[in-house]
Chain A
Amino acid sequence: MKCAECQRELSACLDGEVTGAVRAQMEAHVAGCADCRQRLTDLRQIAAGVKALPQLPAPPQFMAEVRRKIWANERRPWFDVVVRPVWLKVPLEAVALVVVLGTVLVLVNPPRRDTTETAGGRGSVRAHFRRGGEGPPPSESKARNEAVPEELAKDLSAAAPAPAAAPTPVIISMPQAGGGQPLEPAQPRRAELLKVAKGTWDYKSPVEETITVEDADAAAVQEQAAQVAVALKGRMLPVSPQSASDRREKKTDPVGNDRALAEQAVAAGQALRSAPVAQNFQVELPRRNVVAFKSQLMQVTNQRQQNALMRQRKVTTDAVAGKDGQDVAEAQRLDRPESNAVLQAAGAKAADKVDAEQKKDGAAATTVLEIQVVPPKK
């Protein structure tokens, strides 16, 4: 037997775990090998030392403590026994923690619902446009409108009742508060308003709003409306009904020059003189210019009516004084240049504002307004 093999079996031999034959060979080798003999001595001493390690005395209450633990274990409730194992307890606790945290998060931060609600609340929000009464909506008053004389505004509003047979006017009214009084529009943003109002409009009808003008001269109203529309980068729609697609294809030529715009407005008005006069006609113009259009139209219409009134009084006076009626026609002809000049100035001024705003906001969507000319009430 060699040293390596002997040293490998020394520990087992010491413990009596080798066969008799192996033991004999090892004893013979150890007798002649000092190194293996020393190893064997060391291993014996270590074994004896381990055996002599301190013996821990049993505490006096050892059995009593064992009994107490047995009793405590037997009295545990069944659920404690079931969930006691760590391998089950930890996952259950983790799941419970996740559930609790998730519930708390949902209660604290409820999921948002995508709504189109505005200040008016659910459903269709409707804002009441005050036409001609106290003035334009406050959100657009400063930016777009010229100052409208209150007297003329009141006259126009009094002279423009809602016609029974006319199409329903634009329909945006605020939800009724307590007492049945319409709420003041809470400065609704234009985008929200249009977004909500879409749900209440009939897409099949291209007319967004109907404006009723009490005037005996429908042609003049039509002419002036056309001029104002062109000045505000809009156009007069043909009197004959047209499809919406045809209307969309025809785009207004962009005008980069204010004077050219005003000249176009005058030319458009002059061109309409040869066109058939219609009691109802439509204009198409950018949405942003709707209020300006109404304001301008109201202004020029009022001025023309005022001039006509003054002429009538003069004619009456002249008639009394002996002048003939030719002066009336002459005065009416002379009326046009005044209105044209006003239109040119108003159109140029409005175009400035419109250009500034459109450049700021980008391309504006168009809308169609219908103007109804009704005879004034006597």
Chain B
Amino acid sequence: MATVSPVEPVADHELVARCRQGDEAAFAELVARHQHRALNVAYQLLRDHEDAVEVAQDAFVNIYRHIGGFRGDCEFTTWLHQIVVNLARNKHRWWQRRGRHAAVSLDDPDQPQWAAPGDPPDTQAAQTEFVRTLSEEMGRLPVKFREVLVLRNVEELTYAEIAVALRCSVGTVKSRVARAREELRRRMNVEG
């Protein structure tokens, strides 16, 4: 009986190497593999669907344009986060100059259900309410706090990876994470 070895996914660094040689398929694979990551990070930072899509697309355009200069001294995801965060910052500053304050629409049909389908209705309602409130408070946090929280809790990057992505020290990342969570806790407790 023939056994089929599961095809192991090609590592990111190999795809990057192929991209540098002009392999369009490798680039398409990278996009497919990490587009959600880019989108979610952009969305959490900008709190706007259209802006997040645009920033994520522009991030991959930049990667395609500058993949020849990627030395591989960090993970591809770290590099991607770096680009996404920079583009999101630019977009945020651009909107800030025009006086627009991004806020999550609670009636957005694209937003998924917060609670698991099997949870009791009361639990589901409480969790939905909690996450909804948390999402609102996240939108009110300063951008630098949002960045570290998203990269840590959503992307599950280490403090060192976050420091590379944000081009700051590990101590700064540690401090910001602690302050961001403390701030959210304080606001949630005040409202709750």
Contact = CB atoms under 8 A, between A and B. Distances in A.
Interface of A: 8, 10-12, 15, 17, 39, 42-43, 45-47, 49-59, 62-63, 65-66, 69-70, 73
A54 B189 CA distance: 22
B143 interface: no
Given A55-B40, A58-B39, A46 B131 contact: no
Given A55-B36, A62-B53, A73-B65, 11 more contacts: A10-B178, A46-B134, A46-B188, A50-B154, A51-B153, A53-B134, A55-B112, A62-B35, A65-B57, A69-B61, A70-B61
Contacts of A69: 57-58, 61
**Pairs of residues from A and B, 4 with the lowest C-beta to C-beta distance, nearest first:** A50-B153, A11-B178, A49-B134, A56-B43
Chain B, interface SS category: helix
Interface residues of B, number: 45
B84 interface: no
Contacts of B177: 11-12, 15
B189 A66 contact: no
A66 B138 contact: no
Given A42-B185, A62-B56, A63-B32, A53 B65 contact: no
B181 A47 contact: yes
24 contacts: A10-B178, A11-B174, A11-B178, A15-B159, A42-B189, A47-B153, A49-B134, A51-B154, A52-B131, A53-B44, A53-B131, A53-B138, A56-B39, A58-B36, A58-B39, A59-B53, A62-B35, A65-B57, A66-B57, A66-B61, A69-B58, A70-B61, A70-B64, A73-B61
B14 interface: no
B66 to A, nearest CB: 12
B135 A54 contact: yes
B31 interface: yes
A62 B174 contact: no
A247 to B, nearest CB: 80
B185 A50 contact: no
Given A50-B153, A70-B64, A12 B111 contact: no
Interface string B110-147: 11101000000000000000110011001000000000
B88 interface: no
B138 A50 contact: yes
Nearest to A47: B153
Contacts of B64: 66, 70
B85 interface: no
B114 to A, nearest CB: 6
Nearest to A72: B61
Nearest to B146: A50
Contact of B28 (A45, A54, A55, A63): A63
A58 B150 CA distance: 18
Given A49-B131, A50-B138, A56-B43, A62 B154 contact: no
A156 B136 CA distance: 111
B166 interface: no
B149 interface: yes
Interface string B32-59: 1001100110011000010011001110
Contacts of B159: 12, 15, 17
